[in-house]
Structure 1
Amino acid sequence: MPTPIPPGSANETALLDLLRRHPRVLLTGPPGSGKTTLVHRVATRLADQGQACHCLAADPGLPGFGPPGAICLGRWDPRLDEGGGWRLETIEALATLDSARFRLPLVEAVRRLAARTEAGPLLIDAPGVERGIGGAELLAALVNASHAGAVVRLAPENAPDPYAQERVALGLEVLKLPAAPEARHPGHQLRTQRRTEAWDTYLTEAVEQSLDLVDLAIVGTPPPHDVTAAWHRRQAGLLDATGRTLAMGEVLALEGGRLKLLAPPLGDTPRTLVIRDAMRHSEGHLGTARPYRAPYPATPDEPSLRLPLQEAVDGPRPTLRLDGVRATLVNGVFGDPLLHLRLRHRKRSLLFDLGDPGRLPARLAHQVSDVFISHAHFDHIGGFLWLLRSRIGDYTPCRVYGPPGLAGHLDGLMRGILWDRVEEKAPRFEVFELHDERLAHYRLVAGQPMKALSPREVDDGVLHVEPGFRVRAVTLDHGTPVLAFAFEPDVEVKVRKERLDAHGWAPGPWLGELKQHVHAGVDETVIELPDGSQRTVAELAQHLLLSQPGKRLVYATDFGDTPDNRERLLRLARGAEVLFCEASFREDQAEQARRTGHLTARGCGEIAAAAAVGQLVPFHFSRRHVDDVGELYEEIRRHFPRLAATPGSDPYSEVD
């Protein structure tokens, strides 16, 4: 009988054969396809044959060796660790973890390191960027910069290649290899953990150093010099007079024109400082900083409203985390209403209203499954064109819920566009309108007439229900019907971390899969664990999970302060964990609020108190209060003190 082939050895043999024909090979593929592992195994095989091998780790987000935030060149050393490892020879500092946004500096760094590499096999481990024009440009640029003679694409079998034509256009030999069955994306949490550990390892021998900024050229995207707090914990690259990287460091402070940072001992005097967007966050992990914006002015008598330095002029962007859900008021408390609910571990999003979506990554639109529109005024529906454009392609229909007339408004927006070239890639929507206790149903396909489908009855305002949660609505009056919504999880499922640690099981996508099966009531499904063992959902749920009633979230905006509106909203919001509620005007502007059908700050606070909610997020402030927002907050606090007004870290620094 033939000797069984160990997993991955066929790929190793194929890559070794390719290296005999082309000593420089670029390895590409989606995240989690096993490129770094394959490179490691091939280097081991070459060492067994007495041949040296170099690797150029070109993913600054998590290189296979060396510090994150850099492009790293290493030589395989069979004496390192157990079974060999990469001996770091040199690095090129990028000070970013974002391969796509800063692809030009990345490519130039690869070009410089590839030029320094001696003869012999060189494996270029490319970033897993496989979306949009950025990925296409990066593929061609990396081939050119590294002088690769062949390209490998490692991906799960039957996975579509988004850049098949671009690979053909390169005119090089292309080898397509199947990813090993056990290869999978580690998940955002584990990837962040590994990245931070790699950065901490790099800084093991670091010492505190002090540099005079007068002697340094500062390049990249640094914060303003006069905003010293924005420099804290930024990653920095230190370059010599020739532009070579001496080391990387972590900024401790910027004081009086001197920069204090933690970095390995320097062999020469640095002449250039590279600062971009990599930084250590307050939680201790290495991640991406939000772009700097001037702080929103705080009133002297309201210290609790002082905002993080990166806050935009739209005021605070509250971000709240409930179990399995992250809720972000995308445009802040003054901007167009748009609440983003990220269903964590599911790569899926819900949107409440569609105001200006400019801050949302375009790729997020592909993960939006349901949109809940309060009403069709421009600041609540204008972002539909963004959603429409982003969903040209092979996507499942997006569901949209709203008040009577919504389908006609969306159809009108779609009919204003020429759709002669989309063919089968036309955007598709299922639109549902709440008419008292009936839910009208329409199908909208770009370039085709709107089609009315069979309506259904609505039970107690429930618009949408699926395993794990439901969304309920009530109709309020704004001079036009307006819907307020409640997101209602069935149960809140938490992981017992001490039991997870006791088994040595690393967190990852498998936990999200476990929670989804629990919500769906599927007990006998088998889950594969990080150690390779398997358990049923029922076994794992009993051992690892705690369940309790889910925390409800309510979203209400644009309604007049009438007894009927208050009564309807109180029925929906009573006992909710979080209430997002408009507070457009001060109490002394009650007449203006009445004429425009809006709520005062006092009314907002009174409703939150009467509903006994856990937290209140007031928003949709009139821009006339940009300079006196403290008065709005003070008025609300007199009636309800538990405000959640200030966000945490940027929720869009790394979209799953």
Structure 2
Amino acid sequence: MSSRELVVLGTSSAVPTKSRNHNGYLLRWDGFGVLFDPGEGTQRQMVRAGVSAHDVNAICLTHFHGDHCLGVPGVVQRIARDRVAHPVSAVFPRSGTEYWRRLRHATLFNDTQVIAERPVAGDVQEVAADGAPFTLTARRLCHSVESYGYRIEEPGGITMLPDRLAAYGIAGPLVGRLQREGRVTAPGGRTVTLEECGVPRPGQKVAFVMDTRLCDAIKPLADGADLLVIESTFLDADAGPAEEYGHLTARQAGRIAADAGVRRLVLTHFSERYGAEDEPRFAEEAAAAYAGDIVTARDLVRVPVPSRHRPGSAARP
């Protein structure tokens, strides 16, 4: 059975708080794990969340501000200590290669050879993540330093319809052959195609958008996403500082989700200037633009990727 969920390890921005760790997000996708932006304390948060170094197949950094990468040394050393044997792709902005290597080799330890560097550059790049059952695309955002957003997208497929298979007399090994080859000869002698026995199944999509002000790259990252994980550092009253420092507000995040036809919106990366009493306002401001499912992320929660069944539009006029 497939399991696709976001394990939230940290939700603060530049400064951690008593209730919010620095960033950290593990996307679990049918046994393949992508760890986004491991900030300081991520290794411990993984333990608290019940996930291990063996669950990590790729590490994706959006940029090299500390709240998005200071957990790299601990995660890398845990991968080595726990003798993770599978390849682990390390994806990061090429312009920050010097910082990656400082983090990667921050202290003495018995090193591991399983980590393969996959630096990204330019406005858009498809990334070769070892063993990934989906495509991983990076797009350059607009922050005070070079920053990238990521989009995960699996290929579309066909959902088999049992009644149609039965009508054509296709059963047992013939079903697998039909799926592999696209056509089979039915017991009655008729050639039956895959399209006659199934309906198109769209591939699922997840977008991860961290530190950025509004820019053109966000829409293709978020377009049609089943799950959008996006920074909402500020409330709308602080839209000025958000623009100045290269961040988004919760209202802007909601508008992005509505315009892109997102199915589930996860707000995160909250400024430490806001207290617990302000938390409901993030969802309220996002909901002013977006009528879909909104999750105000908290440390250690798990957010399922919505199933492939698609309800009506979530955008408000």
Q: TM-score of the superposition, structure 2-length normalised?
A: 0.71
Deviations along 1:492-526, one digit per CA (max 9) or x if unpaired, are 6779899xxxxxxxxxxxxxxxxxx99xx867xxx
- Check if 1:615 corresponds to 2:273: no
Which residue of the partner structure matches residue 314 of structure 2?
none
CA distance in 2, matches of 1:647, 1:633: 10
> For residues 132-531 of structure 1, what are the structure 2 equivalents within 5 Å?
324-332=3-11, 334-344=20-30, 346=31, 348-355=32-39, 356-357=41-42, 358-361=44-47, 364-392=52-80, 393=83, 395-419=85-109, 422=110, 426-436=112-122, 461-464=125-128, 468-491=133-156
Which residue of the partner structure matches residue 167 of structure 2?
none
Q: Any conservation in 1 of the 2:268–2:297 contact (CA below 8 Å)?
A: no
Deviations along 1:454-473, one digit per CA (max 9) or x if unpaired, are xxxxxx63113667310111
Which residue of the partner structure matches residue 184 of structure 2?
none
Deviations along 1:317-352, one digit per CA (max 9) or x if unpaired, are xxxxxx6422222224754222211122x3x31112
Secondary structure at the residue paired with 2:152?
strand
Higher Rg:
1
- Report the Cα offset of residue 551 of structure 1: 1.8
Give the partner amino acid of 1:340. L
Sequence identity, in percent? 22
Question: What count of residue pairs does the alignment treat as equivalent?
Answer: 261
Residues 623 and 497 (structure 1), Cα distance of their counterparts in 2 relative to 1, 3 Å cut: farther
Secondary structure at the residue paired with 1:628?
helix
> For residues 547-558 of structure 1, what are the structure 2 equivalents within 5 Å?
548-558=201-211
CA distance in 1, matches of 2:29, 2:95: 29
- Report the Cα offset of residue 396 of structure 1: 3.8
Which residue of the partner structure matches residue 570 of structure 1?
219
> For residues 636-651 of structure 1, what are the structure 2 equivalents within 5 Å?
636-645=286-295
- Report the Cα offset of residue 483 of structure 1: 0.6
Residues 600 and 497 (structure 1), Cα distance of their counterparts in 2 relative to 1, 3 Å cut: farther
CA distance in 1, matches of 2:22, 2:159: 33
Secondary structure at the residue paired with 2:212?
coil
Give the partner amino acid of 1:484. G
CA distance in 2, matches of 1:335, 1:497: 48
Which residue of the partner structure matches residue 582 of structure 1?
231
Give the partner amino acid of 1:557. M
Q: Any conservation in 2 of the 1:604–1:636 contact (CA below 8 Å)?
A: yes
Q: Give unmatched runs, 5+ long, in structure 2.
A: 13-19, 164-175, 182-193, 304-317
Q: Any conservation in 2 of the 1:366–1:390 contact (CA below 8 Å)?
A: no
Q: Any conservation in 2 of the 1:489–1:552 contact (CA below 8 Å)?
A: yes
CA distance in 2, matches of 1:647, 1:602: 16
Residues 640 and 363 (structure 1), Cα distance of their counterparts in 2 relative to 1, 3 Å cut: closer
CA distance in 2, matches of 1:606, 1:364: 35
**CA RMSD between the two structures:** 3.5
